[in-house]
Structure 1
Amino acid sequence: MTQQKNPSPSAPSLARAWSRRAVLASGVATLAAPMVLRAQTPAKVIRIGSPDLGTAGKPSPGSSVLAVVQAHKWLEEEFEKDGIKVEWNFFRGAGPAVHEAVSAKQLDVISLGDLAAVIGRARGLPTRFITASGRGSNSYLATAPGVSIHTVADLKGKKVTVLKGTAYQRPFDNLLASAGLTEKDVKLINMDWPSSKAAVVAGQIDATFGGADLFLLKDKGVNIALSTKGRGPAYTINAGILATDDFLAQQPQLAQRLVRQLVRGAQWASQEKNRDALIKLYADNSGNPEVAFREELAGDSLGARFSPLLDDGFIAGYQGVQDDGLKLGLIRQGFDVKAWFQPALVQQAIKDLKLDKQWAETDATGKAKGAA
């Protein structure tokens, strides 16, 4: 159970306090005063939620900027002088479980992959997108020992697990579509990541689709048969950090300070000189092997992968996720994707940290602006 914020003073008591200070204030001012005072009351805890992408008893937000900030304890350092606790919550149920916690008002800030974030917003979750935390990550199909799958077409009739409602469902469905297949053409099982790993090792399923942590299973006879690497934007996954409307409205200064630390983490992760240290950090933080992260990041520009910018290319990627979600029946109704993003916090953080030239903005096609 997550720790709740200390309750604010009641509206009547605040109104009485205000009236003692300003007897001549109008009724409207008296009613507005409690809201202003409440907004200025700093939180006692910032509650962060993420799917659990760790293993071996190491809860982790995976290979994102958030993991860098968590490992360095930069948020704790930022807020401890104000007596504000940073509370980390990791969910084995991934996106759907994070959604439930947001609905119950148990979280302030969340980390999600693109499809999970879009599904939550399409269902009415009161969130705003405040910074990118990872771009263009890939997915992998791991097959059980002795199972022969070499092409996407070979998946027909096979027993495959995918954790539905997570960012992996979209590239999996697009992968099937590339061979003229749909989810109905495979024996699709909705299973969480730890269970699916155990099932594929035991040969209880033919294959499982997920992230680079599946490389952990290679020494158990599991084969990485397919990858989305190099297949284009429809097959990759973006990720970002969202905040609830309540948190942004009531704690704008804390939100800005939080984003500043996330941008600091993005700057550290973007440095090629930190590549080996980044891979080691991800492995130590998650319990997954270094080979998984080394394979995933091979050939990628770290600056492009970890740019925090909420630019045209990043937003267009989420528009594509919504479009695919509607087409594939993963969401029932759309929303204004561009209005969902709140880039001002990132822009201010970049200015504060003097990182104006650190990352190149991308256009709607995903190419760096000004590039030939």
Structure 2
Amino acid sequence: MNKTPSPFLQRRHFVSGLAAAGLAAPWIARAQSSPARVVRIGSPDLGTAGKPSPGGGTLAIVQANRWLEEAFAKDGIEVQWHFFRGAGPAVAEALAAKQLDIVSLGDLASVIHKARGLPTRFIAATGRGTDSYLATAPGSTIRTVADLKGRKVSVLKGTAYQRPFDNLLAASGLSEKDVKLINMDWPSSKAAVVAGQIDATFGGPDLFILREKGVNILPLTRGQGPAFTINSGLLATEDFLSGNAALAQRVVTQLVRAAAWASKETNREALIKLYASNSGNPELSFREELAGDNLGVRYSPLLDEGFIANYQTVLNDGLRLGLIRGEGFDVKAWFQPQFVQQAVKDLKLEKVWRETNATGKAKGAA
């Protein structure tokens, strides 16, 4: 069933949440416990119109089809879905309070959480190369990144969108200090840009819903390379994996099943319609986002060299841009590819996806 965050999750500050949960240290002892009777899954809420949703990725396919509920029903295990309007920072609070077992996050958010000491392991990829968009207020003269200088711009800080936004600014010789940056959640940002209370907002393809209200959408990251796009994945807590690795495997298996379906070009229209129906966002949003994409590349669940190297770049960018404090962590050791590998083997999908090397190119390609 769908559940909204408790007041505790919305009020607690991230740092105080860490302290309250005793997770300030990089690692905690793995508690020995009986198998879980509930699997608690968390995600930023990318839905609208009263439809909580993880948006447009393979987890959304699993959610819409209720595949996890089916996979756990025979053992009487409940699946709880928790969606957070506060996105990555709110998910971090819930993780710190030990209120979630598995979470879906964009790259920067998950890297920030890991760098701050939340004991997670990366168990599957859910999407690659997602673009971001700049929505400008009706009548705005903003056409380029350089035009943002001195303007009021909203970005939800601590989410995956902050990194490509900062990289776009840097490429134009600007930084966050050169704009009037406002930290605002996605629903509030949409309302504010439509009303002209801010000049622009930076976010995902759900912004296309604002076109009919006179808002202009600029695809500034499209075709600009990996420094400007977003990857996402599924993470599990160390506590959950210590006693429930078999349950985590079931979750990943259903995710890989979804990835195989999404990777088929013949399913493109059905995929777009599923995303729209499940999230309440218009089909246009997903059709625009997926235009020209190789679905088999975008939805590969493999935790291969290219995917891991991208997360190392995210960490490096985060440190360089001041989005992450400290010295970082061992990115490669964070990943646990065996869950996806087992699912691919069990589902006989060995020939569906090609692994990428550290430069992001398919292995064996010229």
Q: Could you state the TM-score of these two structures normalised by the residue count of structure 1?
A: 0.89
Determine the structure 2 residue equivalent to 1:281.
Answer: 274
Are 1:123 and 2:116 an aligned pair? yes
Determine the structure 2 residue equivalent to 1:345.
Answer: 339
Determine the structure 2 residue equivalent to 1:355.
Answer: 349
Q: Tell whether the 8 Å contact from 1:126 to 1:244 is kept in structure 2 after alignment.
A: yes
CA distance in 1 between counterparts of 2:282 and 2:156 reads 21
Determine the structure 2 residue equivalent to 1:161.
Answer: 154
Determine the structure 1 residue equivalent to 2:14.
Answer: none
Are 1:303 and 2:319 an aligned pair? no
Are 1:320 and 2:308 an aligned pair? no
Structure exhibiting the larger radius of gyration computed from Cα positions? 1
The amino acid across from 2:330 in the alignment is D
Q: Tell whether the 8 Å contact from 1:134 to 1:305 is kept in structure 2 after alignment.
A: yes
Q: Could you state the TM-score of these two structures normalised by the residue count of structure 2?
A: 0.91
Determine the structure 2 residue equivalent to 1:248.
Answer: 241
Equivalences for residues 179-198 of structure 1 within 5 A: 179-198=172-191
State the shift of 1:258 in Å: 1.1
State the shift of 1:73 in Å: 0.5
Are 1:45 and 2:38 an aligned pair? yes
> Which residue of 230, 234, 249 maps to 2:223?
230
The C-alpha deviation readout for 1:275-312, integer Å capped at 9, x for no partner, is 00000000001110001100100000100000000000
CA distance in 1 between counterparts of 2:77 and 2:35 reads 8
> Which residue of 321, 346, 359 maps to 1:365?
359
Determine the structure 2 residue equivalent to 1:17.
Answer: none
**Alignment root-mean-square deviation, CA:** 1.1
The amino acid across from 1:167 in the alignment is A
Determine the structure 1 residue equivalent to 2:65.
Answer: 72
Q: Tell whether the 8 Å contact from 1:151 to 1:226 is kept in structure 2 after alignment.
A: no
The amino acid across from 2:344 in the alignment is I
SS at match of 2:122: strand
Structure 1, unmatched stretches of 5+, are 3-34
The amino acid across from 1:82 in the alignment is D
The C-alpha deviation readout for 1:217-264, integer Å capped at 9, x for no partner, is 000000013420100000000000000001101101111111111110
Equivalences for residues 249-268 of structure 1 within 5 A: 249-268=242-261
The C-alpha deviation readout for 1:79-124, integer Å capped at 9, x for no partner, is 0010000000000000000000000000000000000000000000
The C-alpha deviation readout for 1:121-153, integer Å capped at 9, x for no partner, is 000001000000000000000000011111111
Determine the structure 1 residue equivalent to 2:100.
Answer: 107
The amino acid across from 2:118 in the alignment is L
The amino acid across from 2:264 in the alignment is Q
SS at match of 1:227: coil
The amino acid across from 1:295 in the alignment is E
SS at match of 1:55: coil
The C-alpha deviation readout for 1:131-180, integer Å capped at 9, x for no partner, is 00000000000000011111111110110000000000000000000100
Length, aligned pairs only: 338
State the shift of 1:42 in Å: 2.4
- Percentage identity across paired residues of the two chains: 75
The amino acid across from 1:321 in the alignment is V
Structure 2, unmatched stretches of 5+, are 7-29
CA distance in 1 between counterparts of 2:147 and 2:245 reads 51
Determine the structure 2 residue equivalent to 1:28.
Answer: none
Runs of 4+ in 1 over 2 A off after TM superposition: none
